[in-house]
Amino acid sequence: MKLFSTLLAAACALACLTPAAAQQDWPTRPVKILVGSAPGGGTDAMARAVADRLGPLLKQPVVVENRPGASNTLAADVTAKSTDGHTMIMGVSTAHAIAPHLLKLGYDSDKDLVPVVFVGAVPNVLVVNNALPVDSVQSLVKLAREKPGQLNYASSGSGSTQHIAAELFKDASGVFITHIPYRGSGPALIDLVGGQVQMSFDTMPSVIGQIKNGRMKPLAVASAKRNPQLPNVPTMAEAGLKGVEMNAWYGIYMPASTPRAVQDRVYADVTRVLAMPETQSRLSAIGADLTPMTQAQFAAFHAAENKRYAELITRKNIKLD
């Protein structure tokens, strides 16, 4: 009996030490950050900004792996079902707050994935091809009314923030424009620059470089206030269309089976990365709003956004093309 008591005490002591040991020992191999869209988009930019600085803190390579498709949910599905203990995803509102209300998923977004670190948010921007003869939101609306159904808009996929923003735009303006979904912002913007599509409501990280290089024209930002990266570009409300507000937010999600000690390690180290001046400068340059959250605050934010988009999608009767 005395031996049993001694073993029981030792087991309890070991259990108390296990989380700390897990946090200290993890990771034991390279870490993957999955991205649910093609290279060149906002999610990809966020992931690489974090990955580039995270590796030295974890003392393991951190590799960004693009798995585009199904409104960013292919990568989320892989992450949710991952058992290697070293896979996470740079989640985006498209996959974690919008798609669950539009797609039949092979995983439960709320039960199989856990929000760990909120990274930041960026506004969507209405951009048009340079050859399109418009220079304002109102002139675009006029042209679209003159050519119903003849103007196309690109998105990174059905159910993306670009898609939802365009639906809000259509509702507010009364125009009919045609949706052309792509497997990510990268290929969508290639066709926008090339003139195969006329406009997009893409995220700031995806378009800011193209705007500054003069390869496309920004007409408005879909945010409550102007963005410091585009101070001369009006908000949608300033341009005459109220209610067209949309942003994309990003955060690290991990499989729900991830030990809490590992979640704590990821939260701590990614938070350190986000506090670095180099990271802040890099993300601010692409229009990101870096608002720190605790993990509990991120979980509450995730739940609130899920509810908000569920109500919006139902109210606007938004469906996949």
DSSP states of 141-191:
HHHHHHSTTT-EEEESSTTSHHHHHHHHHHHHH----EEEE-SSHHHHHHH
- Beta strands per DSSP E along 25-111: 31-35, 62-66, 87-92
Q: Is the pLDDT at 159 greater than 60, yes or no?
A: yes
In tens, the pLDDT along 295-308 reads 999 999 999 999 99
The verdict on 145 and 112 lying in the same domain is no
The verdict on 116 and 150 lying in the same domain is no
In a domain, 277, yes or no: yes
In tens, the pLDDT along 39-57 reads 988 899 999 999 999 999 9
Supply the pLDDT for residue 7: 33
Count the domains in the chain. Answer: 2
Supply the pLDDT for residue 10: 36
Mean pLDDT of 234-250: 96
Mean pLDDT of 6-30: 56
DSSP-derived secondary structure for 212-254: HTTSEEEEEESSSS--TTSTTSPBTTTTT-TT---EEEEEEEE
Residue-averaged pLDDT of the chain: 91
pLDDT bracket for residue 235 (50, 70, 90)? very high
The closest of 5, 7, 38 to 188, measured between CA atoms, is: 38
In a domain, 14, yes or no: no
Q: Is the pLDDT at 19 greater than 50, yes or no?
A: no
Mean pLDDT of 187-204: 96
- Percent of the chain scored above 70 by pLDDT? 92
pLDDT bracket for residue 227 (50, 70, 90)? very high
Burial class (CB in 10 A: 0-12, 13-18, 19+), 115: buried
Mean pLDDT of 67-79: 94
Q: Is the pLDDT at 210 greater than 60, yes or no?
A: yes
Supply the pLDDT for residue 17: 40
Q: Is the pLDDT at 6 greater than 80, yes or no?
A: no
The verdict on 108 and 145 lying in the same domain is no
Indicate the SS3 state at residue 95. Answer: helix
Supply the pLDDT for residue 321: 64
Supply the pLDDT for residue 142: 98
Supply the pLDDT for residue 317: 83
The verdict on 36 and 83 lying in the same domain is yes
Supply the pLDDT for residue 24: 66
Domain at 178, CATH number? 3.40.190.10
The verdict on 47 and 58 lying in the same domain is yes
Mean pLDDT of 189-210: 96
Q: Which domain holds residue 217?
A: 123-221
Q: Is the pLDDT at 156 greater than 90, yes or no?
A: no
Q: Is the pLDDT at 1 greater than 70, yes or no?
A: no
In a domain, 231, yes or no: no
Phi/psi of residue 164, each to 5°?
-65, -40
In a domain, 7, yes or no: no
Q: Among residues 221, 236, 266, which one ends one of the domains?
A: 221
In a domain, 24, yes or no: no
Supply the pLDDT for residue 165: 95
Mean pLDDT check: name the lowest of 60-69, 107-116, 156-165, 265-274: 156-165
- Report residue 111 as tokens: 């039960």
Q: What is the pTM of this model?
A: 0.84
> Which residue in this structure is represented by tokens 């949706």?
179
Supply the pLDDT for residue 4: 33
